[in-house]
Structure 1
Amino acid sequence: MHTIWKGSISFGLVNIPIKLHAATENNDIKLRQLHKECNSPISYKKVCPVCDKEVKSEDIVKAYEYSKNKFVVLDNEELEKLKKENEEKAVEIIDFVKLEEIDPIYFERSYFMAPDANGGKAYALLRKALKESGKIGVAKIIIRSKEQLAVVRVYKEALLMETIHFPDEVRNVGDVPNIPDEDTVVQKELDTALLLVDQLTTAFEPTKYTDEYRTALMDLIEEKKSGKATVTASEKQTAAAPSNVTDLMAALQASLDKTKPKKTTTRKRTPSKKRA
């Protein structure tokens, strides 16, 4: 399993060297875009709309747009300094809370935590403490140059870190349009709805839920492959380079033409008559 982050996490005076591994993966089927005319994959270039030319990576700078078309430019050294200053801080569990106190809207992405060298004992200690207390830890961590708020909890026999949104990243529900203000539900309708909920209530078994669209799409792809309904991308046509023989002959002929003496036309002289 690929390691995406390596460091340590602490609670109190206990320091645990850890490695993070992505706990989930995206299994969406990726579709490429082709040019309909020749079936070649479409490429995307970074183009400056003012200069009307492609821009190389080394000619691109990062900036913050504080108002329309007005920017504060930040150079790589400044950003790297901020990154290092934050990365040098130990990842510390700030608080312990109950899991049910955090609304699911805050949760973002999950990572398995594995103990690094000599971290097994402290890892097991934190796992046991979380199990016994029924609490989860709240911590901060830098991942891919971004500071993240995270929670640490027990998942089966592993410690799991889940990044969560900061409060200002969760939009105000009051801004959602057309939410009814008054409770206009009729009791009879509510009773029927509760009966339906009760009939559909079951234990959660994640394996029984599948991505039906992805399965159908993959079946369609395999069907078209087996039926030879496939296309091959066209290669860019380039002018055929002349052979060495042709080049040599052309050069020789050009040289001959250049050195060949030019034909000159001369007038025939008529013999002069002898004078008596």
Structure 2
Amino acid sequence: MHTMWKGTISFGLVNIPVKLHAATENKDVRLRQLHKKCQSPIKYEKVCPVCEEEVGTDDIVKAYEYAKNKFVMLTEEEIAELQEEQTEKAVEIVDFVQLKEIDPIYFEKSYYLSPNEGGGKAYTLLREALEETGKIGVAKMMIRSKEQLAAIRVYENTLVMETIHYPDEVRNVQDVPNVPEQAETPQKELDTAKMLIDQLTSEFDPEKYKDNYRTALLELIEEKKNQDETTTAKEKPVQTNVTNLMEALEASLDKAQKTKPQPKEKATAPKKTTATAKKTTKPKAATPKKKQTRKKA
């Protein structure tokens, strides 16, 4: 069983090293949401509505909204410091009470407690003391970044810790709408209702209660799977501009060929050379004419 937390339980001068394990698990059948058009799973992204860009984990900070769009920012260091101060404290049992004194509305989640190394004797001591007195311990502890109120009791030879809500976390029952006021109920109707309750009264056996909806849903899913009524999500199309190294090299080669000088530019060089040649032949032609003139003289 996975260990969620390690610490100590203390009552008086007794310290019990313990491990915390989740006592319950959620068996809900989780259904994914697909795009009806292509049967691809819907992706949920964190997007800033102002910048209109996706925000990564490193770009997110925590803050408390004390008024509409008014925030007090808190750094991770400040939060960690407060949590560390509370985490260093042991699970301290502050009171012992009767279980029936706590209304079930206060109970939140159940955890098994097992003794850590060297804590077996003290663990047994607390368990037997609770069994013989018929009481439970009310304790405070830090779990999952929250200071919790908890009830420690015995369940089938094992210590169980039940996290319970603080009073200000339980909504005021007076705020429930449309609750009828006390009214006189005909005695005959009341007697009939009590008779029906007597007929349906039995000892509580949790094994006889089943989640019929979950069972039916799993059967439907299995039936559809056996009849090949399934679908496969389409893969995200890969960008065609550069998919691998070879295509990148080919794209670079094509680009280089397009920017390479055209043959027409090479033809301009001989024209310049010809023009230069014509300029140089003119003085050469003039020289022989002078020599011929001298001979005639």
CA gap of 1:257–1:128, structure 2 versus 1, over 3 A, is closer
When the two chains are superposed, the root-mean-square deviation of aligned CA atoms in Å is: 2.3
CA deviation vs aligned residue, 1:35-58 (integer Å, no higher than 9, x gap): 111111111111111111111111
CA deviation vs aligned residue, 1:209-259 (integer Å, no higher than 9, x gap): 000000000000000000000000000112454884995598389649936
Preserved contact between residue 107 and residue 164 of structure 2 (Cα < 8 Å):
yes
The more displaced of 81-90 and 109-118 is 81-90
1:57-96 to 2 correspondence within 5 Å? 57-96=57-96
Consecutive unaligned residues in structure 2, runs of 5 or more: 272-297
The answer to whether structure 1 residue 258 and structure 2 residue 260 are counterparts is yes
Name the SS for the 1:83 alignment partner. helix
The corresponding residue for 1:154 is 154
Preserved contact between residue 93 and residue 137 of structure 2 (Cα < 8 Å):
yes
CA deviation vs aligned residue, 1:2-39 (integer Å, no higher than 9, x gap): 00010000111110000000000000001000111111
Which aligned segments of 4 or more residues in structure 1 are displaced greater than 4 angstroms? 245-250, 252-257, 263-267
CA gap of 1:207–1:243, structure 2 versus 1, over 3 A, is same
Preserved contact between residue 89 and residue 141 of structure 2 (Cα < 8 Å):
no
Larger radius of gyration: 2
CA deviation vs aligned residue, 1:152-203 (integer Å, no higher than 9, x gap): 0000010000000001001110111111112231111100000000000011
CA gap of 1:256–1:44, structure 2 versus 1, over 3 A, is closer
Consecutive unaligned residues in structure 1, runs of 5 or more: 268-276
Report % sequence identity. 63
Counterparts of 2:85 and 2:93, CA distance in 1: 19
1:150-189 to 2 correspondence within 5 Å? 150-189=150-189
The answer to whether structure 1 residue 109 and structure 2 residue 109 are counterparts is yes
The amino acid that maps onto 1:36 is: K
The corresponding residue for 1:273 is none
CA gap of 1:214–1:256, structure 2 versus 1, over 3 A, is closer
CA gap of 1:6–1:250, structure 2 versus 1, over 3 A, is closer
The amino acid that maps onto 1:57 is: T
Aligned length: 267
The amino acid that maps onto 1:178 is: N
The corresponding residue for 1:225 is 225
Name the SS for the 2:225 alignment partner. helix
Name the SS for the 1:24 alignment partner. coil
